[in-house]
Chain A
Amino acid sequence: GEDVEQSLFLSVREGDSSVINCTYTDSSSTYLYWYKQEPGAGLQLLTYIFSNMDMKQDQRLTVLLNKKDKHLSLRIADTQTGDSAIYFCAAISGYSTLTFGKGTMLLVSP
């Protein structure tokens, strides 16, 4: 089945760019997603990218997909303290189920 891996922790200063990386194993994954989870809260869909795209930009968020290397990244420009959260990379596997990475904790310091 699908296996999704992410780095566990990233610390940046306010105003810097953050880059969170993710790798996946199933080359047939059609959609890849980024979700944000604040402490004790639900999963907020941030953005997604279809597998036939290599880049998607949405305001401060840029998603890059390298399908050959099965590598996905999320870049947050001008990172703010409110961006501090856990970010999950997820890939579609099976019928339509999501397989999540372990999550990357992003800590933004003033």
Chain B
Amino acid sequence: AAGVIQSPRHLIKEKRETATLKCYPIPRHDTVYWYQQGPGQDPQFLISFYEKMQSDKGSIPDRFSAQQFSDYHSELNMSSLELGDSALYFCASSLEGDREDTDTQYFGPGTRLTVL
């Protein structure tokens, strides 16, 4: 079965640079979530989109922005990168509806961002 695709898988940036992470949800999924997982930490929710509109917002820094496009893929844009932004960034997708597994989030493999 098709899974969530994230690109790139690894990214190395310098401080104060910008980065763009991409996420392609499971086909027919209409909701995308972004999470940040620091070393040895649990994933922390950043932001989510449903049908191209922001649906919820977590601990996303103002330096970060995200959007969901008409084909449901999403991009997380990160500017003025700091050392503390080094983490694994996960995208997850889900399908709204009345099924038993409604809202069940399926995660991509993650993008490992290293800021030097």
Contacts and interface: CB of A to CB of B under 8 A. Distances in A.
A50 B48 CA distance: 22
Interface stretch (A10-18, A57-65, A72-80, A87-95): A87-95
Interface in B53-77: 55-56, 58
Interface residues of A, number: 24
Interface residues of B, number: 26
A96 B56 contact: yes
Given A100-B43, A103-B42, 20 more contacts: A35-B107, A42-B90, A42-B108, A43-B92, A45-B104, A45-B105, A45-B107, A48-B101, A88-B43, A92-B103, A96-B48, A96-B55, A96-B105, A97-B58, A98-B35, A98-B45, A98-B92, A100-B42, A100-B44, A102-B41
